[in-house]
Amino acid sequence: MAKFVIAHMYPDLMNLYGDRGNLICLQKRLEWLGQECEIRKCFLGDQVDLGKTDMFFMGGGSDREQELVFQDLRTRSEELWQAVQDGLPGLCICGAYQLLGEFYKAADGTIMPGLAFFGLHTVAEPGRLIGNILIEAEIDGSPSSIVGFENHGGRTYFDDPELKPLGKVLRGFGNNGKDKTEGLLYRNLVGSYLHGPLLPKNPVLADFFIHAMAERKRISIDVRLDDGIETIAHQQVEKMLA
């Protein structure tokens, strides 16, 4: 049995629409796979030893919460970017995803510089993009449908043509409601607007992160879980949207 450590960034501030459920999903799946998983909470100002971390997670947040965290987050940018480049898995949902780019311009006009990891920016525009969403993605080389729920005023635009979205919007809005892109995929880092939480209804994505973590720990996990219930939940949303 190996011990996996997942850093939960700003759990008291960045955690909308059940996003913490992504961590519960990863922890349970790892336990069902015979492994141990510790969720380490990282609050404003806390030190995080990314060398002893197998993945990081940050949930969504309102404009106010984003304003409370962006400066602390930027103090971590150099170490975090190096870790992402080295393949550290990460999942950033909605408001967290927005802070991976150059800036987020909030509804009140406040401009929050982001981590500037990627050539993208986000601007809040009138009317929120709300509802269930269905995208098609390629996860670990296999075409996969991904379902979730979105609720954001920010519209994210890619300024770097090399950036790859997580997927293509089939139903719903995605990054900006215009270009049919949703989220971002870079090495083992995923940014996405999909709340829900995202992972329990999309086991293929949960296992993408588990495989990435296991590979970096040089552990092979051959057990396949019975995803019968998860598949039913996934198909319910797909049917509703198709």
Of the listed pieces 38-46, 135-143, 152-160, 165-173, which binds ligand GLN according to CB under 6 A?
Answer: 152-160
The verdict on 151 binding ligand GLN (CB under 6 A) reads: yes
Mask: binding to ligand GLN, 2-21, rule CB under 6 A, as x and -? --------------x-----
- Torsion-angle region of residue 93: left (phi > 0), alpha (psi -120 to 50) or beta? beta
What is the nearest approach in angstroms of ligand GLN to the Cβ of residue 215? Answer: 29
What is the nearest approach in angstroms of ligand GLN to the Cβ of residue 14? Answer: 8
Q: Which of 20, 24, 62, 233 binds ligand GLN (CB under 6 A)?
A: 62
Instruction: Kindly state the helix (H) or strand (E) to which residue 210 belongs, with its residue range.
Output: helix 203-216
Q: What gap in Å lies between CA 91 and CA 192, rounded to an integer?
A: 8
3-state SS class at 122: strand
Mask: binding to ligand GLN, 115-134, rule CB under 6 A, as x and -? ---------x----------
What is the nearest approach in angstroms of ligand GLN to the Cβ of residue 81? Answer: 22
DSSP string covering 12-70: TTS--TTTTHHHHHHHHHHHHTT-EEEEEEE-TT----GGG-SEEEE----HHHHHHHH
State the number of binding residues for ligand GLN (CB under 6 A).
13
Told to judge if 42 belongs to the known catalytic residues of this protein, a careful annotator would answer no
Residues in region 63-102 near ligand GLN by CB under 6 A: 63, 66, 94-95
The verdict on 61 binding ligand GLN (CB under 6 A) reads: yes
The verdict on 184 binding ligand GLN (CB under 6 A) reads: no
3-state SS class at 139: strand
> The tokens of 242 are what?
């198709």
> The tokens of 51 are what?
């060398």
3-state SS class at 151: strand
What is the nearest approach in angstroms of ligand GLN to the Cβ of residue 54? Answer: 24
Nearest residue to ligand GLN by CB is 60
Catalytic residue among 37, 42, 92, 94: 94
Q: What gap in Å lies between CA 220 and CA 233, rounded to an integer?
A: 28
Told to judge if 94 belongs to the known catalytic residues of this protein, a careful annotator would answer yes
Strand blocks (E) in the chain: 3-9, 36-42, 55-58, 90-93, 103-105, 111-113, 120-139, 142-158, 167-171, 181-182, 184-186, 189-192
* Binding positions for ligand GLN, rule: CB under 6 A: 16, 60-63, 66, 94-95, 124, 151-154
Catalytic machinery residues: 94, 195
